[in-house]
Chains A and B, each alone.
Chain A
C-alpha cells in the first residue's frame, strides 16, 4: 500500500501539483452489543482507499477513491489538481506550509493481544454474563453491554519525500443499565458512558475493565436513581469525577484551542473560539491549578500516534500552564499563519477525508489527592459523575452538561443521591474557580471515539487524561 501512496503522489505531481501527499489506508472495525442477554448486533466492517491532497498555486485540492488500480489513482490525482484549480477562481491568500523534516518511518500502537483474533465466542460470553449480572437486579429494564475494536492502517507519502507506515489499534468496552419508571428513565454506565472505556490498546485492555464484576452495582445504581429526588437548583461547590472531567476538558478546552477554529476556518459549522490568535501568553484560562497538556505520545490515548496525517512527528505540547494559556493545536498550514511550526494535530477520519486539526490527548495535569479526599475536604456541595448530555456555544463559552447521578456533599460525606443533575457555566470563569485537582491515583486516560468536526462530517478519535476536580460557585440543577 505504500506504493499506492507513492504512485498517487507522483501522479499528482505529474498533473501539476506543487505539493502533494497521499494516504492509502484500511480501516477495520468490529462491534458487538448484547442487550438483556440477547445479541443486539454483531458486525465487522472494512474500508480501503486512498486520499490525495495537493497544493496548486497555494490552494488546496483533495480527492479520494476506493479503487486502487493505477488508472483510477491517476484519475483521482488529476481530480485533486482540478479541485485546487477551481479554488483558484476566487482570490485568496496562498497557503504556506510550516516546514517538517520528511520522515521515513513506521509506528504501531503497542498491543499485547490482537483484539481481532480473540474468538468471537469469548467476546459474546463476556457480554452475555455482564448483561446477566445486571438483569439480576430487580426493577432494571435494560442491561446492555458492548465491545468495540478499531484498527487504522495508513501508508503516507509526500512530495517532500516522507514515507510512513502506521497502524493504530483501539479497544473499548462498557456496560449500561437502564431503569424505566413512571414517566422517567434513569441510566448508569461503567466505566464511562457512550460505549465505555476506549483506549489505544489490544484486548488486554478489555480484560482489565471488570465489566462482569461491576455489573450488579451499576444495575442497582440505575434502579436507585428512579426513586431519588431531582438535583436541586442552586449555586454551590461542584465536584466532578474523572469521567465527567474528560468531557469538560474536551468541550471547553480541547475545541477552543484548535487553531483552525480560532482562525475562522470552522466558523460556519462547528463554530470558532473565544480565544483570539494573539491569546498565547496573555489569557488566563483557569486557576493556578489548571495545567493542560496535549500529548500525542501518551500511552493508551486515542490521540496517540507516531506521526499525524501530515507526517509531523507526535509531540507533547503545554497548552495551559498554571492557568495561563500558552499554545494552540496546530497544523502545518495554520502554524505558518502564526509564525510557528506544526505541533502535529492534523488528522483525518480515514483515507476519504481531508486532515483537520484534531485534539491529540488533551489532559489536565494531575495535582494532589484522591476523589475521596477532595470530597472529604468539601464542607457542602454537589458531586456529579458520568456524563450523559453536553451542549456548548459556538465560541465555547457558555456550556451546560448533564450527568447520570449526583450526591449531596455535607461535611465531607456523600449523603443524598440525586437524579437528573446538570450544571452550567462560562468557560474562563468556571476553570478560574477550580480549587482542587486530583492526583495521579485517580487520573485516568479516557477515550472519546466520536468527536465530530468538519464538512463533510468527520469523526475524530481523541483522548483525555482526567482527574477529579472541584469548582466553586457553580449553577447546578438548571430547569427550563
Chain B
C-alpha cells in the first residue's frame, strides 16, 4: 500500500532549494515512486519485489550558466545541498547562449490518472492474478511474465512561481506463454487502473497463440503484406517518435521529416498526435520543466504537421514549448511520451480475411534504427507470427527479421483497426494505437524458431 506524500510535502522539500542565494533561477523536479512487481516464469512466481524511492533534481541558472545536481535525499536539506552543488557547477561552465529561461507560472490541465486500487495493490493481489493467469493456461504450456503496479507523484517547482504536482498510477500485466513444439504467444494489458486487467483473459489469449504457433514452418524472407497487432504498431510509432517527432532532431535537420512539412508522408488513414491531457493515457499533464502539456498534431490524414518542443528547442525554432521537456540536463531534447494513433473501422479478423497472402505479426522484438533519416529500422517478430493465405490463418511461421522504412510502411497502410490499445515500445512512454494492415513490409532474414 502506498500513501500519497501530497503537494504540500513536495512544496516543503522544494523550498529547501528555491531559497538558494546567488542564483538567477532555480528549478526543482521531485518524483516519488512506490510500487511492486510480481514476476513469474515456468508458471511459478520467481521474483516478488517492492520498491520505494524519492528523487530530486535541481537545475540552477546564473547569468545563463546552468548546472544540475540530483540525489534521493528528499528533504529540504537535501534539496538545499543539491542546489548548492548545481550552483557550483553553473559557476564553472560557459553560459548557454540558447538558455530559454525557466517555465513561467501556468496551471497545468487537471487530469485524473491516479487510481487508488492500483496504488493500494498488494503482493497478495498480484499473486492471485498471476495464479489466475497461470491457471488458465493449458496443460503443456508454461507462462512467464510480470504484473507491475506503480504509483508516481511528480512535482515541479521553480523560482518563477510555477508549481505543479500530479499523482498517477500504472498497472501492467504481461505474459509470454510457451507451448509444445516451439509455440509461443504474447498478451498484455497496460493501463492506469488494475481494474482494467483481466488476468484470465490475458493468459488465455497468449496460450491460444502458443498452441496455434506450434511447429512453425520456415518462410523465405521478402516483401509481404502484414497485419500488425497493436503491440507491433507501437514499435513503429515509438521509433517514429525518436527519429522523427523529437524537436531537436527536426530543427537540426536530422529528422526523417526534414523538408516534409505539409507533405503526404503516410496513407490518408494515418493520424498521429501526442496528448498528455487525454485521460486515456498515462503520466503527468505537464513536462519535466513544468510546462503544461499541449496536444500536438504530428501527422494528420497522412500529412506531416509538426514536432514537439521543450523550452530550449522552442526558443531555437521561434516557437512556444509544447510541454515535452525531459529531465535536465537533456542533450537529446524533447520527446513525445503520450502518443495516439487514430482508429479506423476494421477488425483484425477483417484484415486477415482481406489478405490473399501475408503475415499476422503479434509483436516485434529488440528493434533498432538502421537509418534515421530514412526512418529505417530493423527488428524481429516474436511470440506468434502466422502465414495468412486466401483470407485465413494458414500456418505458424518461424520468426523473421524485418528491415523497413517506417514511413514507407505507414504509406502502404490499407486498413486501420477500430480499437486502440495502450502499449509501450520504450519503458518511459506509452502509445495508444490500433492494429494496421500494411500492404508491403520487407523481411530481410529468418531465424530458426
- Taking Cβ atoms with an 8 Å cutoff, the residues of A that contact B are 31, 33, 35, 37-49, 59-66, 76, 79-80, 82-87, 89-93, 120-121, 124, 128, 141-142, 144, 178, 180, 183-185, 263-269, 271, 274, 352, 354, 389-395, 397-398, 400, 402, 420, 422, 424, 426, 455-457, 475, 478-480
Q: Chain A nearest CB: distance from B47 CB in Å?
A: 6
Tell me the bound Cα distance from A313 to B365 in angstroms.
35
Quick check: B403 and A42 within 8 Å, CB to CB? no
B residues within 8 A CB of A85? Answer: 123
Quick check: B131 and A391 within 8 Å, CB to CB? no
B residues within 8 A CB of A267? Answer: 41, 144, 176, 178
Q: Chain A nearest CB: distance from B36 CB in Å?
A: 7
Q: Chain B nearest CB: distance from A62 CB in Å?
A: 5
B residues within 8 A CB of A268? Answer: 41, 144-146, 174-176
What are 5 of the A-B contact pairs (CB < 8 Å)? A43-B328, A90-B130, A124-B93, A264-B144, A266-B41
> How many interface contacts (CB-CB < 8 Å) are there between A and B?
266
Quick check: A398 and B46 within 8 Å, CB to CB? no
Q: Which of B365, B372, B442 contacts A394 (CB 8 A)?
A: B365
Instruction: With A37-B94, A89-B131, A124-B93 given, name 11 new contacts (CB 8 A).
Output: A38-B98, A64-B52, A90-B134, A120-B92, A263-B41, A390-B368, A424-B445, A478-B370, A479-B403, A480-B404, A480-B405
Tell me the bound Cα distance from A358 to B87 in angstroms.
37
Q: Which of A59, A63, A120, A395 contacts B45 (CB 8 A)?
A: A59
B residues within 8 A CB of A265? Answer: 41-42, 46, 144
Return the chain B residue nearest A397 by Cβ: B447
Q: Chain A nearest CB: distance from B398 CB in Å?
A: 10
Q: Chain B nearest CB: distance from A125 CB in Å?
A: 10
Q: Which of A44, A80, A128, A426 contacts B50 (CB 8 A)?
A: A80
- Judge if B70 is at the interface, Cβ distance under 8 Å: yes
Quick check: B328 and A41 within 8 Å, CB to CB? yes
Given contacts A83-B48, A89-B127, A267-B178, contact A66 B72 (CB under 8 A): yes
Quick check: B369 and A86 within 8 Å, CB to CB? no
Quick check: A456 and B331 within 8 Å, CB to CB? no
Return the chain A residue nearest B428 by Cβ: A457
Return the chain B residue nearest A54 by Cβ: B48
Tell me the bound Cα distance from A115 to B146 in angstroms.
39
B residues within 8 A CB of A37? Answer: 94
Interface residues in B222-271 by Cβ distance below 8 A to A read: 252-254, 258-259
Fill in one digit per residue for B138-150: 1 if any A CB lies within 8 Å of its CB, else 0.
0000101110100
- Judge if B118 is at the interface, Cβ distance under 8 Å: no
B residues within 8 A CB of A33? Answer: 329, 331
Interface residues in B310-340 by Cβ distance below 8 A to A read: 328-331
Quick check: B124 and A86 within 8 Å, CB to CB? yes
Return the chain A residue nearest B330 by Cβ: A41
Q: Chain B nearest CB: distance from A453 CB in Å?
A: 12
Q: Which of A142, A398, A402 contacts B445 (CB 8 A)?
A: A398
Q: Which of B51, B70, B92, B175 contacts A45 (CB 8 A)?
A: B70
Quick check: B41 and A41 within 8 Å, CB to CB? no
B residues within 8 A CB of A45? Answer: 57, 69-71
Tell me the bound Cα distance from A265 to B39 in angstroms.
9
- Judge if B68 is at the interface, Cβ distance under 8 Å: yes
Quick check: B146 and A269 within 8 Å, CB to CB? yes
Tell me the bound Cα distance from A264 to B408 in angstroms.
36
Q: Most chain-A Cβ atoms within 10 A of its Cβ — which of B96, B144, B370, B382?
A: B370
Among B287-295, B373-381, B388-396, the stretch that binds chain A is B373-381
Return the chain A residue nearest B46 by Cβ: A265
Quick check: B70 and A86 within 8 Å, CB to CB? no
Tell me the bound Cα distance from A128 to B92 in angstroms.
13
Fill in one digit per residue for B108-143: 1 if any A CB lies within 8 Å of its CB, else 0.
000000000000001110111011001000000010
Tell me the bound Cα distance from A457 to B35 in angstroms.
14
Quick check: B70 and A46 within 8 Å, CB to CB? yes
- Judge if B300 is at the interface, Cβ distance under 8 Å: no
- In the A-B complex, the 10 residue pairs with the closest CB atoms: A41-B329, A92-B44, A86-B123, A43-B68, A267-B144, A398-B447, A45-B70, A83-B48, A268-B144, A63-B50
Return the chain B residue nearest A356 by Cβ: B47
Tell me the bound Cα distance from A218 to B401 in angstroms.
32
